[in-house]
Amino acid sequence: MTPRRRRMVAMTGGLVCLVAATALVLTAFEQNMLYFYTPTQIAAGEAPEGRRLRVGGLVEQGSVRRTPGSLEVRFDVTDLDQTITVAYAGILPDLFREGQGVVAHGLVSTDGLFEADEVLARHDENYMPPEVAEMLEERGHPPDASLR
Amino acid sequence: MVPEIGQISLALALCLAVALAVFPLAGAHTGNVRWMEVARPCALGMLAFVALAFAMLAVSFFRHDFSVLYVAQHSNLKLPAMYRFAAIWGAHEGSLVLWQLILSSWTVAVALASRTLPQVLRARVLGVLGLVSIGFLLFILLTSNPFLRLFPAAVDGADLNPLLQDPAMAIHPPLLYMGYVGMAVPFAFAIAALLSGRLDRRWARWTRPWTTAAWMFLTVGIALGSWWAYYELGWGGWWFWDPVENASFMPWLAGTALIHTLAVTERRGLFGNTTLLLAIAAFGLSLLGTFLVRSGVLVSVHAFASDPARGLFILVFLAVVMGGALLLYALRNAATNPQTGFKLVSRESALLVNTILLSAATVLVLFGTLYPLALDALDLGKISVGPPYFNLVFILPMLPLLLVVGAGMHASWKATDTAAWGRKLRAPAAIAILTVIILTVAAYGFAGVLTGIGILIAAWVIASALRDPVAWLLRRGPKPRRSTWGMQVAHCGLGVTTLGIVVVSAWGVETDRRLALGESLEVSGYEFQLDRIEDVQGPNYRAAQGVVNVSRDGRPVTTLYPQERVYEVQQNPMTEAGIDAGWRHDLFVALGQPLGEEAWSVRVQVKPLVRFIWLGALIMGLGGLLAISDRRYRVAAPKEDES
């Protein structure tokens, strides 16, 4: 091969690698983007099926139900208009409380249940998941208040 | 009186910072020697006043002076003395004072250690550091004054966040800041080079030890943060790709690329422009990290908009510093264009690949961190980017990079004798393959191709790094120089960290279970029995403490005491894991919630080689220390034409 052809081959190879890497990165990005939905949006059928998403709101007072003898737990999350039931099997965060803000990651199942694989709550006394705080504010609810 | 002294000290420090910026820079421009000589006393004076302000804040904390708002918000009568000291940097205002204290210390260190530097360069470096100090002192005084009074004074304080009441968290911020702020020094050197329009090999030699020192602190600081997250956040993860973590990791990536291009610039006079850009980028990313962590933008971009003073200040500061630096870079062409080239198989090529891959990783992490913020700011939806994205975009450049690291270490500058090179790499390659076979067949069992590749490259880097030291010990090779030792030790640490990450990711076991008292659970051959739950009283918290007996084949191994703490003042529950740390693996138990009927939710984990992750980082830091201690950085500046 002449040096010129060798350079051509090297550049083409590099370009192909770069395009492949870019495609891979963009696909990974697209697949790992989690959109935030409110219970109202989910009730209206706006949430895509079979795609992981985040849902947030306040944990309805008195709605936490445990399956005896296991880690399974269900609770209702509300944005004060609509409510969705979240099912989760695992350890809830330290600051998970009824009446407080929560964000869950997971899938909407066909029967309208939200199957969560991750549940996040506040980090401290003053913290409210930002999406939940803004959502409540839009509904005219003071952001620092909780359901009492 | 004490807080007022502190505030006045900060104002005086600002005056000195202005003098430090104006006179040496103007003096360097006009050739006025006496103006340039002002730099050293100004730097010393600035440090003295900032240290005084810091001391006054410390005194306020120790005296429980709850008439100081910051103390009232972050301390408490029952807070142990050690954490009252750590509480100084437990929140925004105080951490900025610490930041400025460290910046002033770096400035003085440069002022004192730079006697061998040409006067003009020294004046410019110190002047630029003075400019940075002006920015941060203004930031403190205008938006984040820690000495604000509270009237009437509080009876008791609101306590330090329980998460921060921990030894590692007490020293994590100072170390991290040493690294962050230390990146200001190579930045100042870069600006000085641009101002003078001269970038040569001596410049690179002077800049190298400072950059390595900052990098070293950053490395250990990040590792400490990861270790803290592992045992204190309670759930055994050691890296979450959280924006706050990314904020410290991006300067590290850019800084790592920078110490490597500096090596090329010093030894061969090449990559000058890349070095300048990386020096600017590393400090820019440090400032960006400060912005992300301190502006409230991560909690919500709208929280930032509702209290914009702080965030806006850093954003403008960032824009001015970066804009100015890049403009200067565009206008001045400082790097000389040497006529020397290098062959395809050479150390320069390896380091070029290193620079490209590290920069790519930095950009991809930056993209994943900032994209959700941008989208939210434009009201285009709220998204978060999951860890799998970061894992992929990080592993993608790292796999080839580690391969190149192992090979590149033994390549020569300019052109490599490929036959000799191949002979040197034979032993490391054999050891790497052997390690894969031992670990995946004998020790842990097969766990996928990617895991095999991961172990292969980790062992490859370790073996390749240790090849020359071992050859020297066996009296078959020459004694390496200190800086070469440092390079090999640091790369060995990189391999150790990689090995830890691969093994714990592939073979770590996590189980969440409901355990009633007396019940037990088997994980990886260990039997974890929840014996009882008892009440424990700490200095400022109460805790439910589990007593978990761990046994293997019926023989007791250890007893773990995980706690669920409730701190008295803030009433926050907090999980304190019970960990039996070991070389081979960690046994980890954390209590979740009581589930009724005398049962608790419990997380049990067995984490093989998890300690290697942080051990490797410490080894990397040690490598940095060895490299800095090389004699050639302390002898008088060599002549330009020395080879």
pLDDT digits (tens, 9 = 90+) for A22-54: 898 888 888 888 888 889 988 888 888 788 888
d(CA B349, CA B344): 6
Eight-state DSSP code of residue B164: G
Q: How far does Cα B291 stand from its chain's mean position?
A: 16
Whether residue A32 and residue B385 make contact (CB cut-off 8 A), yes or no, is yes
Q: Quick one: pLDDT at residue B618?
A: 97
Helix B418-437 / helix B449-473 crossing angle, nearest 10 deg: 120
Half-sphere exposure of B421 (CA within 13 A, CB side): 15
Residues of A in contact with B386 (CB under 8 A): 32-34
Q: Which residue has the tokens 């490209």?
A: B356
What tens digit of pLDDT does each residue of A55-103 get? 888 899 999 998 888 889 999 999 888 899 999 998 888 878 888 888 8
Hey, is the C-beta of A21 within 8 angstroms of any chain B C-beta? yes
Q: pLDDT by residue (tens digit) across B389-404?
A: 999 999 999 999 999 9
* 3 state SS of B510: strand
Confidence (pLDDT) at B604: 94
Go through the domains of chain B in sequence order and give each one's CATH number.
1-160 (no CATH), 510-610 (2.60.98)
pLDDT of the residue at A142: 54
Chain A residues in contact with B368 by the CB 8 A cut-off are: 29
- pLDDT (0 to 100) of residue A8: 87
**Residue B462 is which amino acid?**
I
What residues form DSSP beta bridges with B544?
A: B535, B564
Tell me the shortest Cα–Cα distance from A81 to chain B, in angstroms: 20
Short-list B574, B607, B567, CA closest to B591: B574
Q: B363 and B265 in contact (C-beta within 8 Å)? A: no
Peptide bond into B480 cis (omega under 30): no
B550-566 per-position pLDDT tens digit: 999 989 999 999 999 98
pLDDT above 70 covers a percentage of chain B that reads: 95
Two tokens at B536? 């424990």
Calculate the average pLDDT of chain B. 90
Hey, are the CB atoms on A95 and B382 less than 8 Å from each other?
no
The end-to-end CA distance of chain B, in Å, is 59
Tell me the C-alpha distance between B118 and B455, whole Å: 48
- Strand A101-108 with A114-120, pairing: antiparallel
* B532 alpha-carbon distance from chain centroid: 40
Stretch B157-172: mean pLDDT, rounded? Answer: 84
CA–CA dist B435, B428 (Å, integer): 10
pLDDT for A143: 47
Residue B95, C-beta contacts closer than 8 angstroms, at least 6 positions apart? B89, B173, B177, B294
Identify whether the C-beta of residue B461 lies closer than 8 Å to the C-beta of residue B406: yes
Task: Give mean pLDDT, residues B53-64.
Answer: 95
Q: What is the mean pLDDT of residues B443-454?
A: 88
Q: DSSP state, B439?
A: I
Name chain B contacts of A127, Cβ cutoff 8 Å.
Answer: 299
Q: B376-399: buried (b, 16+ CB within 10 Å) or exposed (e) per residue?
A: beeeeebbbbbeebbebbbebbbb
* B304 pLDDT higher than 60: no
List CB contacts (< 8 A) between B571 and chain A. Answer: 125
What is the model's pLDDT at position B643?
35
Asked if residues B78 and B158 have their Cβ atoms less than 8 Å apart, the reply is no
**CB within 8 Å: A31 and B388:** yes
pLDDT band at B157 (very low <50, low <70, confident <90, very high): confident
Q: Show residues of chain A in contact with B393, CB under 8 Å.
A: 25, 28
- Express each pLDDT in B188-209 by its tens digit: 999 999 998 888 888 999 999 9
At residue A95, the pLDDT reads: 78
Pick A32's closest partner by Cβ from B303, B389, B593.
B389
- B161 and A131 within 8 Å at the Cβ level: the answer is no
Higher-confidence residue of B282 and A9: namely B282
pLDDT band at B133; cut points 50, 70, 90: very high
Query: Lowest-pLDDT range, B165-179, B269-283, B461-475?
Result: B165-179
Strand partners, B606: B509, B587
Provide the pLDDT for residue A147: 45
Tell which of A55, A94, A107 to mutate to test the B interface (max B CBs under 10 Å). Answer: A94
For residue B590 the two structure tokens come to 């954390």
- β-pairing, B599-608 vs B585-596, is antiparallel
CA distances from B6 to B76, B117, B309, B582 (A): 21, 34, 22, 46
Q: What is the token pair recorded at B325?
A: 């630096």
By the CB < 8 Å criterion, does B571 face chain A?
Answer: yes
Q: What is the mean pLDDT of residues B60-80?
A: 91
Q: How far is A110 from chain B (nearest CA, A)?
A: 23
Kindly report the nearest CA distance between residue B389 and chain A, in angstroms. Answer: 5
Most confident range, picked from A98-112, A124-138, B89-103: B89-103
Task: Identify the pLDDT of residue B199.
Answer: 86
Say if A44 is an interface residue toward chain B (CB within 8 Å).
Answer: no
Q: Give the closest of A33, A66, A89 to B385, CB-based.
A: A33
How many other CB atoms are found less than 10 A from the CB of residue A72? Answer: 14
Whether the per-residue pLDDT at A121 is higher than 80: the answer is: no
Hey, what are B1's tokens? 């009186």
10 Å CB burial of residue B326 (0-12, 13-18, 19+) is middle
| B4 bridge partner residues | none
pLDDT tens per residue, range B320-373:
999 999 999 988 876 656 666 788 888 999 999 999 999 999 999 999 999 988
Q: Which residue of A has its CA nearest to B511?
A: A90
Q: Is the peptide bond before B152 cis (omega within 30 degrees of 0)?
A: yes
Q: Is A34 helix (H, G, I), strand (E, B) or coil?
A: strand
Q: Do β-strands B520-523 and B526-537 pair in parallel, antiparallel, or remain unpaired?
A: antiparallel
B522 vs B552: CA distance, rounded Å: 9
Above 70 in pLDDT, residue B303?
A: no
> How many beta-carbon pairs below 8 A join chains A and B?
89
B458 close to B505: Cβ distance less than 8 angstroms? no
Set of chain A residues whose Cβ sits within 8 Å of the Cβ of B511: none
pLDDT tens for each residue of B580-634: 999 999 999 999 888 887 899 999 999 999 999 999 999 999 999 999 998 888 7
Torsion, Cα of B385, B391, B392, B395 (10° steps): 150
CA gap A107, A118 in Å, rounded: 11
Listed residue (B77, B98, B218, B87) closest to B157, CA to CA: B77
Residue A29 sits at the chain B interface (C-beta within 8 Å): yes
The reported pLDDT for the residue numbered B205 is 92
* CB-CB contact of B557 with B542 (8 Å): no
Q: Confirm if B186 and B282 have CB atoms less than 8 A apart.
A: yes
pTM (2 d.p.): 0.92
| Tokens at B459, concatenated | 């062992």
Decide if B447 contacts B440 (C-beta within 8 A).
Answer: yes
Confidence of residue B443 (pLDDT cuts 50, 70, 90): confident
Chain B hits for A128, Cβ within 8 Å: none
Predicted local distance difference test score (pLDDT) of residue A69 = 80
CA contacts within 13 A on the Cβ side of B138: 13
pLDDT score for B642: 37
- R_g of chain B computed on alpha carbons: 26
Nearest to B572 among A68, A92, A124 (CB): A124
Least confident of B56-65, B301-310, B435-444, B544-553: B301-310
In chain B, residues with a C-beta closer than 8 Å to the C-beta of A35 are 381-383
A77, two tokens: 């999350």
Distance from CA of B475 to the nearest CA of A (A): 42
Q: What is the mean pLDDT of residues B180-185?
A: 95
Task: Output helix, strand, coil percentages for chain B, rounded to the nearest 5.
Answer: 65, 15, 25
pLDDT of residue A67: 86
Contact A95 B573 (CB under 8 A): yes
Place of tokens 């799998």: B388
Provide, as residue numbers in chain B, all residues whose Cβ is less than 8 Å from the Cβ of A28: 388-389, 392-393
Structure confidence at residue A130 (pLDDT): 66
pLDDT > 90: what percent of chain A?
15
The helix-helix angle for A3-31 and B347-377 (nearest 10°) equals 30
Decide if A54 and B392 are in contact by the 8 Å CB cutoff: no
User: Average pLDDT of chain A?
Assistant: 82
pLDDT given for residue B15 in this prediction: 97
* Smallest Cα distance from A71 to chain B, Å: 6
Contact check, Cβ <8 Å, B161/A124:
yes
- Beta-ladder partners of B576: B563
| Model pLDDT, residue B640 | 44
pLDDT at B432 over 90: yes
Looking at chain B, which residue has its C-alpha nearest residue A95? B573
**B234 pLDDT higher than 80:** no
Please enumerate in sequence order all residues whose Cβ is within 8 A of that of B407, keeping only pairs 6 or more positions apart, or say none.
B350, B421, B425, B464
